[in-house]
Amino acid sequence: MATLTKTTISVAELDEMIERGESFLLLDVRNQDEFERWKIEGRNPFETVHIPYFQFIEDEDKSVSRVPKGKQVVVVCAKGGSSEYVADVLRQRGYDAVNLEGGMIAWGNYYRVRRIEEVTDVALYQIIRVARGDLAYAVVSNGEGILIDPTRHTEQYTNLAEREGFKIVAIFDTHAHADHISGGPKLAKALGVPYFMHPYDAIHPIDMLPATIEYEYLKDGFTFQFGNATLKGIHVPGHTLGNMAFLVNDRYLFTGDSIFIVSVARPDLGGRGQEWAPIHYESLYKKLLVLPDETLVFPAHFATASREGRPDGTFYDTLGNIKRNNPREYQSPSKEAFVEFMLSTLPVFPPQYVDIKRVNAGLLVPDEEKAQELELGKNVCALADAY
C-alpha cells in the first residue's frame, strides 16, 4: 500500500497492483477521444473514473466532488504532467492520490517478463507488452536463445539475455506485423545474428513493394537447432501470406497471428480478407488444429487480459482447451461457414496499420514520436468477439 507521503507510482507498480487485485480508483484525466481509444485494463477489475483535466481547471470543486472517497486514487494522463497537477489537488483535499509516472506513454511501453514455469526442457520466457497485448518470446537451451516476435524496445531482450545468462543466436518473426513495429531487424543487425521471416511477407501487401530489410528465408518444414532444442517452421498463411507458426521440441507451438487463446487472427489486414479467409481456414484446420491436444499454444497477442490471463500473469493454454473454448473458430462445420463467420466479425481496420507494415518492411523509418503515435492503442489482430 502506498502511504500518504507517496506522490507517484511507476507503471510497474501499477501493473503489480492490478495483478494482485488491489482495490484502487483509476482517475483518467485525458480528453474524451484519447480515453475512448485506449484505456488502462488488466486481469483483475478496478474502478475507473474519467474526468478530463480541463474540467479540473474550469471547476475544481465540482470535479473533485465527482471523485469517490475511500480508496487510493491513481491519476493518469497522456504523459504524466496534467495528472501530476490533479493528484496534487486531490492530496490537498485529503485524498490518498498518486500520479502515474510517464502517463499512458509509459504504460504503453511497459513490459512484464515471466518465465513459463511448467516448461522445463527449455527455458521459456514470455515478454508481455501489457497495454498493447503484444507477446514475444525467448526460448533458451544450453545457453543458446532464440527470440520470437521481439518488439521495438530491443533492450528488453538484451537485458533479459544478460540477466538470465544466455546468448541470442537467432531472431524470428512469425509474420510482418501490422499492429506494432518489430524489433527483429534492428536487433539482429546489432547482434550480428540472422533474422528470419517468410519471403511472402517481405512484399508490402498494399504497396506491392519489396522490403528493404535484411532477412533470411523461412519456409514450410524449415528447422533450426539451438542448444539441445529444435524449432520447426510451419507455413500457415491466412492472417498474412507469409504467416509462420513455430513448433519447438514438438510440444510448444508459437502461433503468431493464427490461433489465439480467445478468438482467431483476422484475415483482412493485408486488404484482402475475402481471398485470405479461405486460405486461413486451410492453414488452421489442416496444419495446426491437427496437432495433439496437449500442445501448448503461445500466441503473439492477447485481446482481453481478464479473459485470457493466467493467475501468474502469463498468457497461454493447451490446444485442446482452446478448441473447446472457441467452438465457432476451431470447430467450424465447413470452410464456407468459417469464412462467413470471419468476414462478419471483423473489427475496424486501424488506418495506421498500413504504415506499420511499411515500417516493418523498411519502407518507412519513423522517429520515436512517430513510432509512438503509430503504436497508440491495443492491438486489434483478432476478430471482434475477442475484445
We find the least distance from the C-beta atom of residue 351 to Fe ion, in angstroms, to be 16
Closest CA to 29 of 65, 79, 72: 79
Please report, for residues 141, 191, 337, the alpha-carbon distance to residue 158 in angstroms, rounded to integers and kept in the order given: 16, 9, 45
Encoded one letter per residue, x for contact with Fe ion by CB under 5 A and - for no contact, window 247-266 reads ----------x---------
Annotation says 381 is catalytic: no
Residue in the block written with cell 519489396: 210
Length of the chain: 387
Least distance in Å: CB of 75 to Fe ion?
Answer: 31
Nearer to Fe ion, 74 or 381 (CB): 381
Q: Give the Cα separation of 240 and 272 in Å (integer).
A: 9
- The SS3 assignment for 159 reads helix
Helix (H, G, I), strand (E, B) or coil at 298: strand
* CB-CB neighbours of 35 under 10 Å: 17
Rg, C-alpha atoms of the chain: 22
Q: Output the CA angle 147-151-153, nearest 5 degrees.
A: 110
Report the DSSP beta bridge partners of residue 203: 210
Cell numbers standing for residue 354: 498500413
Nearest residue (CB) to Fe ion, 96 versus 257: 257
Q: How far is the CB of 92 from Fe ion (least distance, A)?
A: 44
Q: Interface with Fe ion includes 28 (CB under 5 A)?
A: no
Q: Return the residue matching grid coordinates 518492411.
A: 361
**Which residue sits closest to Fe ion, CB atoms considered?**
381
Question: Near Fe ion by CB under 5 A, which window of 153-161, 173-181, 193-201, 224-232?
Answer: 173-181
Closest CA to 329 of 255, 269, 275: 255
CB nearer to Fe ion: give 295 or 379. Answer: 379
Q: What does the per-residue mask of binding to Fe ion show for 121-160, with x meaning CB under 5 A?
A: ----------------------------------------
Any contact of residue 179 with Fe ion (CB under 5 A)? yes
**Between residues 6 and 272, which has the closer beta carbon with respect to Fe ion?**
272
The answer to the question of residue 201 lying near Fe ion (CB under 5 A) is no
Q: Which of 297, 381, 382, 386 binds Fe ion (CB under 5 A)?
A: 381
Which residue is catalytic, options 77, 90, 269, 383? Answer: 77
State the nearest-atom distance from the C-beta of 350 to Fe ion, in Å: 11
How big is the site for Fe ion, counted in residues (CB under 5 A)?
A: 3
Which residues are identified as catalytic? 77
Contact positions vs Fe ion (CB under 5 A): 179, 257, 381
